[in-house]
Amino acid sequence: MRITTNMVYNRNISSLNNANERLSTAYEQLQSGDKFKTSGEDPSGMSQKMALTKEIDLFKQYGVNGSLLENSLGHAETVLTALNNAMTSAQTLIQKANNSAVESDDRKAIASELEGLQKQMFDLMNSKNSQGEFIFGGNQSKTQPFIKDASGNYVFQGDTGQRNIQVSPTVQIAANDSGFNLFEMVPTRRTGSAGSANIQVRVADQGNFDNFHRINFDPALASNQYTVTTAAGAPDTYEIRDSGGALLQSGDYVAGNQIPFNGLELTLDLPAGGAAQNFVLDSPQNNNILDGMSDFITALRDPTMSADDFQVKVADATAHMNNARLNVDKGLGEIGGRMNSLEQVLGSNEGLSTLNQQVRAKVSEADLYEVIAALSKEDAALSASQLSFSKISKLTLFDYIR
């Protein structure tokens, strides 16, 4: 085989170029830390790297979402705690007014204090988060949820929606609570009323009666009516039956004496054997807590109100405020549950993201020791190629003659 000078030079130059390319590749891997730069170098590896990078970026976004959610829930928790404190102060003032020694001027002073608390609560119920959105407006986050109309009533302008934030591939957590459920739909005091002329009905134990009312009130009935009948004998007796005729309670009867019945006190002013008397469970009502406070403030400033009527107003305000606090306590509990869930989800996200980063490193990142070894090997190979070329390039006829 004839070996020409061009062949010698071409093969040596090709060898040098290949060695230099391998050395350059080793240098790039050392500087970047990546096994490959293009999909052509490792199609399967590049595909896996892109998929893992997408997952890692998603978990980063979930972390951002979680931070925003934590901020929103923290704002709501702070506001509800402040509202709870204001309601506690209002309860104290209501009980302070429920004293026969409190005079008209004192009641007016209490009314002024309650107005201040009412204004504070109104402002808190219209609180905004750090993004400038109303916390308790539902999905209407840009609309002030509570306003006071021309008649002095407080009106809710939001809706009952909740905005959910994605914090993991499968988990969404509500970022807000509607003021409609928290402050608008507050149960008023549950009551019973006389259905006949010779019976008086009074709530003596509100908690006991509330339980009875909740269990037994049937909204499908036209009237939740109960009947009290008396019979003369030795002794005289009474019976209380529901609208279906079922006997609920019986005992000795003395005209004018109170008959306790599931938190109610029933008083009949007719002799044994007289006409049957009826009483009913009043329909449950809900009202805005601010309107409930307005009703009691008006009562405090009414010098003509009788003591008995004022006692009814005190009972109404006490029960309404208690129920409002229960709503707020429930809201705080739900926020606490969401914050616990968020903490657990973010912890899980961090673990999964770390795992993905480790897998991506194994797939796409170069091993430092291997790269250094390859760099040394290719550098030595390039030096050897250069030395070989230097010697082979001198193997000409003229060098032999010389």
Kindly report, residue by residue over 214-233, the tens digit of the pLDDT: 999 999 988 899 999 999 99
- Name residue, tokens 């449950």: 284
What pLDDT is stored for residue 401 in this prediction? 52
Residue with tokens 């599931």: 262
Residues present in the chain in total: 402
Residues lower than pLDDT 50 in the chain: 30, 367-369, 398
Which DSSP state fits 190?
A: -
Q: What is the pLDDT of residue 48?
A: 77
Q: What is the pTM of this model?
A: 0.77
Report pLDDT for 145.
96
Spell out a b/e string for 34-73, using b for 16 or more CB atoms within 10 Å of the CB, else e: ebbeeeeebeeebebbeebeebbebbeebeebbebbbebb
Place of tokens 């293009």: 38
75 three-state secondary structure = helix
Q: For residue 145, what are the contacts with CB-CB under 8 A and spacing of at least 6?
A: 125, 126, 134, 136, 137, 138, 156, 157, 158, 179
